[in-house]
């Protein structure tokens, strides 16, 4: 039954993608055992992966609820070592209590800590958020800056947060968001992070930026994150339901049509 179900998924996916993508799928599917591929970052294979992801997750957006660049900045800081679901439960009351960067800058730190306690590491996160608010107010006129160089001056903001805010809110493709899902799936798909010394988020991002067209950087991150949450989970990935299964040779696959 599992094999029949997977064949139906695979056929449905093939009908939805272009002939070049199907050709790439067929080349991987015929004769390759699980393990490393000969040329996993070929333009043809990368294009097929991008096309399938786009058609599997059309119009996908950032999962963090927000109404402004500042709210997205706060939510992304809170998302460190925490699920987006938990962050989305916390932020409504947080943004009601402190509706602007100026309000966050003047907030009582204990009150701020209490509102974000359930996200974990709440003391450090509260200090980062308040520090970021003060820089936004004092240095940028109350508005989140729109360049990576400037946004990285905010306490608690590293490249991941910068890419999330610049990409999701401002639609500026400066880089690729690399979270735990993107890191894991990039390695499983052999797109990045597969060689010694190449497994840091910064190096994975650089590798992805070399093979992913810039106009796909923003959407690719969202698509891969959703795929990692719904299908390609860390333990026992749902390979039987995966539209990328025939393009994947990961050694920890739970089912294979190869």
Q: Is 62 annotated as a binding residue?
A: no
203: annotated active-site residue = no
Q: Which of 125, 179, 207, 253 is catalytic?
A: 179
Does 232 belong to an annotated binding site?
A: yes
**SS3 annotation, the chain:** CHHHHHHHHHHHHHHHCCHHHHHHHHHHHCCCCCCCCCCCCCHHHHHHHHHHHHHHCCCCCCCCCCCCHHHHHHHHHHCCCCCHHHHHHHHHHHHHHCCCHHHHHCCCHHHHHHHHHHHCCHHHHHHHHHHHHHHHHHHHCCCCCCCHHHHCCCCCCCHHHHHHHHHHCCCCCCCCCCCHHHHHHHHHCCCCCCCCCCCCHHHHHHHHHHHCCHHHHHHHHHHHHHHHHHCCCCCCCCHHHCCCHHHCCCCCCCCCCC
User: Choosing from 55, 125, 143, 160, which is the catalytic residue?
Assistant: 160
160 is catalytic: yes
**239 among annotated binding-site residues:** yes
Catalytic site positions: 160, 179
List the binding residues for [4Fe-4S] cluster. 232, 239, 242, 248
């Amino acid at each position: 039954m599992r094999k029949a179900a997977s064949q139906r998924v695979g056929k449905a996916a093939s009908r939805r993608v272009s002939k070049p993508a199907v050709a790439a799928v067929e080349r991987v599917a015929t004769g390759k055992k699980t393990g490393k591929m000969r040329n996993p970052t070929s333009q043809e294979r990368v294009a097929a992966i991008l096309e399938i992801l786009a058609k599997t997750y059309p119009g996908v957006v950032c999962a963090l609820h927000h109404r402004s660049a500042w709210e997205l900045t706060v939510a992304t800081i809170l998302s460190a070592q925490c699920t987006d679901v938990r962050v989305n439960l916390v932020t409504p009351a947080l943004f009601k209590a402190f509706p602007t960067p100026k309000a966050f800058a003047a907030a009582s730190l204990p009150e701020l800590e209490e509102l974000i306690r359930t996200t974990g590491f709440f003391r450090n996160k509260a200090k980062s958020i308040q520090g970021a608010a003060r820089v936004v107010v004092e240095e940028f006129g109350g508005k989140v800056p729109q360049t990576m160089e400037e946004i990285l001056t905010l306490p608690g903001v590293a490249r991941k947060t910068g890419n999330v805010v610049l990409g999701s809110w401002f639609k500026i493709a400066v880089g690729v968001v690399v979270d735990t899902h993107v890191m894991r799936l990039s390695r499983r798909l052999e797109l990045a992070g597969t060689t010694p010394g190449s497994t840091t988020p910064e190096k994975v991002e650089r590798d992805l930026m070399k093979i992913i067209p810039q106009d796909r950087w923003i959407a690719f991150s969202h698509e891969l994150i959703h795929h990692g949450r719904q299908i390609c989970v860390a333990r026992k990935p749902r390979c039987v339901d995966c539209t990328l299964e025939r393009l994947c040779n990961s050694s920890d696959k739970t089912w294979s049509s190869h």
